[in-house]
Amino acid sequence: MSDLLAGVRVLDLTNVLAGPFCCYQLALMGADVIKVEAPGTGDLARQLGADSGLNKRLMGASFLAQNAAKRSIALNLKSEVGKEAFLKLVATADVLVENFRPGVMERLGLSAKALRALHPGLVYCAISGFGQDGPLRDNPAYDQIVQGLSGVMSVTGDAHSAPLRVGYPVADSIGGLTAALAICGALVRRGKTGAGETIDVSMLEAVLVTMGWQVSNWLIAGIEPQPLGNENMTAAPSGAFATADGVLNIAANKQDQFEKLCALIGRPELAFDPRFIEREGRKKRRFELKAELEITLASKNAREWSELLNSAGVPAGEVLSVPQALAHPQVEGRGLVRRFANAPGMERELAVVRAGFRLQSGDPAPAAPPPELGADTEMILSSLGYNAKEIAALCKAE
């Protein structure tokens, strides 16, 4: 079977993370994603990452992480010849994604309104920190700023460490996934009606939407969310527990799970202790209960407890590092990591993650490694009708 988005062309004008991550999801589903980059520098992420050597070659690890399966064309959108070529490219596209500050594309004469006047079926998606209007519209979109303004940091950590940043760019990632979802919805309708769409994704709003329970506790119940660290606000014992070796997450959220847990660790009396016998009592005295459980949990390591508890239907899992998680048989066995032996700009094997879902018709995975800056410029311009002389002149003008 063909890929889900086979035949869909996406122009990726984005930088760093939210936009590139969105377009990577589309590429994984088979879209022809053309990354439109500034000559000489390209996506800023090309210079970001833990390997300084790759950064100097404009193939930074941060870029490599979400740009596989894309093609790259180097165009100066501020020049007339570059803009002319870009407009020809737009005419062949189904989707355009950009994450400039609001107003940048309009100043270039390439606003959603202008482009959709030329191409009514175009799905134009703008990703920004705060949306295309409102008092913060012109503020730069940095993940940690959005985390702070959304309330995420206020509920991350505990009473002593909050406010605390989530340990990866969660706002960028959520913004990118939200954009990909909106684009796919717009493409479905376009397939039925031919109508394009203009999509305005606010990272701030996208993050707030995912904070369902915290937001609803305030909006509906009038209870302001508080940071609980590794504890689950809805149940106890439910959180992270120390063992003889390693930290163990336990989620004994149901009464029968709590009773099984007590029996399995050799402390059946805790299930009948007046302090813990009822759900609300356990929540109020969660730290007393945690101390009691950890006395016995210290007799085995996290992996041993995880296997024992899960086999009896009590949800549990080790707290792993990123390398441990990627090497786990569950992750390795499902082939999450895609490897390329001969990636351009690399002197070693390149490994990237594929989509976070699988399909009966074939698992989405990048068909090609990330491109070097402008690697496909000549081929793409040729497909637009430019001859070799015109391509040379255009590239020289850039």
Helix, strand, or coil here: 98? strand
Quick check: 104 and 190 in contact, CB under 8 A?
no
Same structural domain, 185 and 312? no
CA pair distance 185, 116, nearest whole angstrom: 18
Specify if 156 maps to a domain. Answer: yes
Which of 259, 286, 318 marks a domain boundary? Answer: 318
Same structural domain, 337 and 188? yes
Which residues are catalytically annotated?
Answer: 172
CA pair distance 378, 374, nearest whole angstrom: 8
Specify if 258 maps to a domain. Answer: yes
In degrees and rounded to multiples of 5, residue 57 shows phi and psi of -90, 10
Strand (E) or helix (H) holding 389: helix 388-397
Q: 388-397 vs 80-91: helix axis angle to the nearest 10?
A: 130
Same structural domain, 261 and 342? no
Query: In the numeric block, which tokens belong to residue 303?
Result: 């992996």
What pLDDT shows up at residue 397? 64
Same structural domain, 95 and 129? yes
Give me the count of residues in the chain. 398
Same structural domain, 144 and 187? yes
Same structural domain, 27 and 65? yes
What pLDDT shows up at residue 396? 75
What pLDDT shows up at residue 2? 66
pLDDT in tens, 281-332: 999 999 999 999 999 999 999 999 999 999 999 999 999 999 999 999 999 9
Same structural domain, 161 and 130? yes
Same structural domain, 180 and 47? yes
pLDDT in tens, 154-188: 999 999 999 999 999 999 999 999 999 999 999 99
Same structural domain, 205 and 292? no
Specify if 1 maps to a domain. Answer: no
What pLDDT shows up at residue 347? 81
In degrees and rounded to multiples of 5, residue 274 shows phi and psi of -55, -25
Same structural domain, 359 and 294? no
**Low-confidence stretches of the chain (pLDDT beneath 50):** none
- Nearest in space to 101 (alpha carbons), one of 132, 134, 79, 146: 132
**What's the domain range around 257?**
238-242+247-318
What pLDDT shows up at residue 398? 62
Same structural domain, 301 and 347? no
Same structural domain, 150 and 288? no
DSSP state, residue 47? G
Number of domains making up the chain: 2
CA pair distance 355, 395, nearest whole angstrom: 35
Which of 318, 343, 378 marks a domain boundary? Answer: 318
